[in-house]
Amino acid sequence: MPPPTPTYLAYQHDAKLLHLETTIQSLQPFSDLEEANQALFKSANNDDFILVTKETIFHPQGGGQPSDEGYIFPAGTDTSTINNPENALLQVLAARIDATNNGQVLHLVRPMLNTTTPLQSLNPHTPILQTIDAEKRLLYSRLHTAGHVLGSAVRHLLESSIPNFDELKASHFPDSASCEFRGSIGGEHKDAIQAKVDEFISRAMPVEIEFWGEEDFKREGVEHLLPDPGLLGPGQDKFRVVRIVGAEVYPCGGTHVETTDLCGGTVVKKISRSKGNSRVSYAVV
C-alpha cells in the first residue's frame, strides 16, 4: 500500500484564505485512531471523528500558535451564507499534524446535530467546503507577528550587551503570549523594548513569506537559523521563512498579518527571569 499523501498546507501560501473547496481523503471515528494520535487531542470524546482532506486552510496547533477552528460545509455552499453554522456538516474543533510523521493534518470534527447528510456518504474524494473562524485567525495572526516583532526588538536592543544572548522559543496563545531568550534581561529594559516594539509596529513593515533551502540561509548570513533538515515534511526540500522587512527573518510555519501595523497595539507586560533565561510576556489590544 502506498504511503498516505501529505496534506497540502494552503494556509502557508495564503493566510487570507478563509474558505477552501477540497476533497475528503478519510473520515474515521476518533476511537479508531492510533494511540499516539489520540494523545494529540485532549478534549476529544469517542463521538468525535478525524477528518483528513487533500488540502487544508486549518492551521494545526504548533510552533506556539493555537489551532484554527471552524466548520465543514457541503461543496458549492454560497460563502455568503456560511455565517449560519447550522447549515454545516461538521464542526472543526482542532487540528494537529499526524504524530506518525506522514505529513497529514488531522482535523478533530464533531457532526452537527441538525445535519441531514449521513456520515456514511462522506467518502474519500467527496468534495467539501472548509471555512475557518476568521476572528480567531486574525487574532492568532496578530499575536504571531507581534511575537516576531517583539523578538526582533529585543535582539536589536540587547544582542550585543547580554552574554550568550539568543532567542529560544515563543508562545502566541492569547492568554500566555511570551518570548523566551537566553541571558538575563533586567526589568529596566522594559520601557526601551516597548519603545522599539512601538517603532516597528508604526513603521508598517512588510511581512513576507519565502521558502528557503540551505543555500539561502548561507546567502543571507543566517546559517544559525537553519532548522534541522529532519523537520522538513514529506516531499519538502525548502523551509518556510517569515521576513519582517527591515528587521528579522524567522523560520516559521504560522500565519501572519501582512504588515506590522496590523498587529495593532502590542503591550510588553512583564519580564521574568529563571535559570539564566528571560521571558518577556506581551499582549495585543
SS3 of residue 125 by DSSP: coil
Q: Residues 192-214: what's their mean pLDDT? A: 97
Q: Per mean pLDDT, which range of 114-123, 139-148, 274-283 is the poorest?
A: 114-123
Using pLDDT thresholds of 50, 70 and 90, give the confidence band for residue 105: very high
Q: Residues 89-97: what's their mean pLDDT? A: 97
pLDDT over threshold 90, residue 208? yes
At residue 1, the pLDDT reads: 60
pLDDT over threshold 90, residue 2? no
Q: Report the chain's mean pLDDT, rounded to a whole number.
A: 93
Provide the whole-model pTM.
Answer: 0.94
Distance CA 132, CA 11 (A): 11
Cβ–Cβ under 8 Å, residues 277 and 181 = yes
Which residues are CB-neighbours of 160 under 8 A, at least 6 positions away? none
The grid coordinates of residue 139 equal 487574532
pLDDT over threshold 70, residue 203? yes
Residue-range domains of the chain with CATH? 8-132 (2.40.30.130), 137-284 (3.30.980.10)
Per-residue model confidence as pLDDT tens digits over 225-265: 888 877 676 667 899 999 999 999 999 999 999 999 999 99
Q: Residues 176-201: what's their mean pLDDT? A: 97
Give the rounded percent of residues in the chain with a pLDDT score beyond 70: 98
Higher pLDDT among residues 21 and 83, named by residue: 21
Cβ–Cβ under 8 Å, residues 45 and 51 = no
Indicate the pairing of strand 8-9 with strand 55-56.
Answer: parallel
pLDDT over threshold 80, residue 51? yes
Distance CA 9, CA 209 (A): 14
pLDDT over threshold 90, residue 58? yes
Query: Cα-Cα-Cα-Cα dihedral of 163, 167, 169, 174, to 10°?
Result: 110
Query: For 192, phi and psi rounded to 5 degrees?
Result: -65, -40
What radius of gyration do the chain's Cα atoms show? 20
Cα separations (Å) of 114 from 28, 30, 110? Answer: 20, 20, 12
At residue 115, the pLDDT reads: 72
At residue 161, the pLDDT reads: 94
SS3 of residue 159 by DSSP: coil
Per-residue model confidence as pLDDT tens digits over 116-137: 777 888 999 999 999 999 999 9
